[in-house]
Amino acid sequence: MAGSRAYSLGAARALAGQLAGLEPSGPPRARLLRAPAAGLGAQVGVLAGSFDPLTAAHAALARAALRHGGLDSLLWLLSVQVIDKEDRACAALADRALVLARYVARRPRQGLAACNRGLYVEEAEALAPLLPAGAALWFVVGHDKIVQVLDPRYYADRAAALDQLFALAGFLVAPRAGAGRGELATLLARPENRPYAARIRPLPLAPGYRDQSATAVRAALAAGEDVRRLVPPQAAEFIATTGCYRGDDYAPRRAQLQTMPPANAR
């Protein structure tokens, strides 16, 4: 019964109201949905993603960042912009925010924010007004993401784009699959990457989490498998309550959350 109340449609609608108004067509903007109880501090980590669903690997990455990354706090960041994954998301944005809000509720150094953009540089711009004066921002990512950040194929003017990004934020990089500290050192030793090496730091992560993905969790759920070891209790409770990822039963709830009018925009 407690799980049913926590993940009721009304609870999701309340969060949808807080998300309203973050239109991708506007300038970069972020909203702090749940501030860390202990405050943001001077070193703020950001773990951005679609969290569809929130996994044990996501949680492990957050813990590693707070233990080893020199951070005072960590914000989970959801983007409302439709980039690659968002139009294929299984759970409605408000429901994913609801799971994250429940997850951070008893974790005083963790908070939740939402942003209307999906690029790191725009997310950093949007978050800057929410941070204490002089605070430093650190994105927490896997090795595959920093490879993308440094890849020249994504830029018309790579140097200008990266100079702008690294002036706003640094990166804490966890191992992903077979790529770890050694591979990161090799990547940063390249002449074109050396100017940014001081803003990119390795982050340890237990081997058992390096190959986990939300995609694999969704596939296991669709196959009817027990995924409780792969997701935090808050995500497992949401899945059990709503039926999300297990079939068509979730479709009506998703439709209701996606068609909410922006009456609560602020």
Confidence of residue 265 (pLDDT cuts 50, 70, 90): very low
pLDDT for res 248: 86
Res. 264: pLDDT tops 70: no
Mean pLDDT of the chain: 92
pLDDT for res 82: 47
Res. 259: pLDDT tops 80: no
Distance CA 199, CA 100 (A): 28
pLDDT greater at residue 1 or residue 214:
214
Cβ atoms 119, 161 nearer than 8 A: no
pLDDT for res 87: 53
Q: Which amino acid would we find at residue 56?
A: A
pLDDT for res 24: 86
Confidence of residue 3 (pLDDT cuts 50, 70, 90): low
Q: Which amino acid would we find at residue 51?
A: F
Confidence of residue 21 (pLDDT cuts 50, 70, 90): confident
Sheet holding 110-115, edge to edge: 30-34, 110-115, 73-79, 43-48, 136-142, 170-174, 200-202
What confidence tens digit (pLDDT) does each residue in 22-78 have?
Answer: 988 889 999 999 999 999 999 999 999 999 999 999 999 999 999 999 999 999 999
What confidence tens digit (pLDDT) does each residue in 84-133 have?
Answer: 454 578 999 999 999 999 999 999 999 999 999 999 999 999 999 999 99
Res. 218: pLDDT tops 90: yes
β-pairing, 136-142 vs 30-34, is unpaired
Percent of the chain with pLDDT over 70: 92
pLDDT for res 161: 97
pLDDT greater at residue 177 or residue 143:
143
β-pairing, 30-34 vs 110-115, is antiparallel
Percent of the chain with pLDDT over 90: 84
Confidence of residue 236 (pLDDT cuts 50, 70, 90): very high
Please name the fold of domain 2-264.
Rossmann fold (3.40.50)
What confidence tens digit (pLDDT) does each residue in 134-176 have?
Answer: 999 999 999 999 999 999 999 999 999 999 999 999 999 999 9
